[in-house]
Amino acid sequence: MTEATEITETAEATEMTEAAETAETAEAAEAEPTLTPTVGLGVLHLFCRVSGGFDAPAVLEAETAVRKAGGQVIAASILGHKADVALMVLGPDLWQLRRFQSAVAAAGLEPVSSYVSLTEVSEYAAGLPEELKQSRLYPQLPPEGKPAFCFYPMSKRRGSAPDAHNWYVLDYEDRLELMVGHGRIGRQFHGRVLQLVTGSVGLDDFEWGVTLFAVHPDDLKECVYQMRFDRASALYAEFGPFYTGMVAGLETVLAAAAR
């Protein structure tokens, strides 16, 4: 090998290395950002109305993208004037949830309301078996055989008047006792209603989002009714708007909304 050939090959190798480094730098610069909770999943509820030029295949593509990224999309057809479609999206990356939100809006599903929260294990559930803790942090939805759907946000009261009820001035032991009684009522609906409570303190207008899946719509009604007699609810709970409907495959829900 001549000295000239050796110099040429060295120069070519240097150029290839520099080109590869430039490509890697560009790829890193173009990489999509991520934001994940330290534990659990991000949860985004979108309540949408169908607008003109609705593109159902584009929404289905957005769902596929979420699933490929390890997330879940639960669709419900909403009854009443508040919305046409509910899309509950769960995933480890909040940026992925945001991309889904952008995609469905661009496809003609206009969000008229939304709710942002994270899956969590309540401080009052420290003694739960590990399997149940994991099912709350990483739920697999929707549950089989429970097509009735309901979502509402709620907070605990923080009254300031001398005779007002303020959850946050109670001792932990008092709060724990109230929540144990609250859970006792909920367990009466085991097999009929599945409840997922997600935390939104500091994230949205209320402190928790409550998503219910039930066998029948009257199971939802009876469950919420009985819960309101419990002291934890009767004295300390404040509720936001309720969204009610039927869980089905996304294609079915979109077809109903487009009619």
Peptide bond into 142 cis (omega under 30): yes
Of 124, 138, 152, 172, which is the active-site residue? 152
152 is annotated as an active-site residue:
yes
122 contacts: CB under 8 Å, gap ≥ 6: 179, 197
Task: Report which residue type is found at 150.
Answer: C
User: What distance in Å separates the CA atoms of residue 169 and residue 204, rounded to the nearest whole number?
Assistant: 22
Query: Quick count: other Cβ atoms within 10 Å of Cβ 28?
Result: 8
| Whether 181 contacts 229, CB under 8 Å | no
| Whether 234 contacts 67, CB under 8 Å | no
Using left for φ > 0, alpha for ψ between -120 and 50, and beta otherwise, residue 96 falls in alpha
Which one-letter DSSP state was computed for residue 35? Answer: -
Nearest to 239 by CA among 199, 197, 210, 202: 210
Q: Known catalytic residues?
A: 152
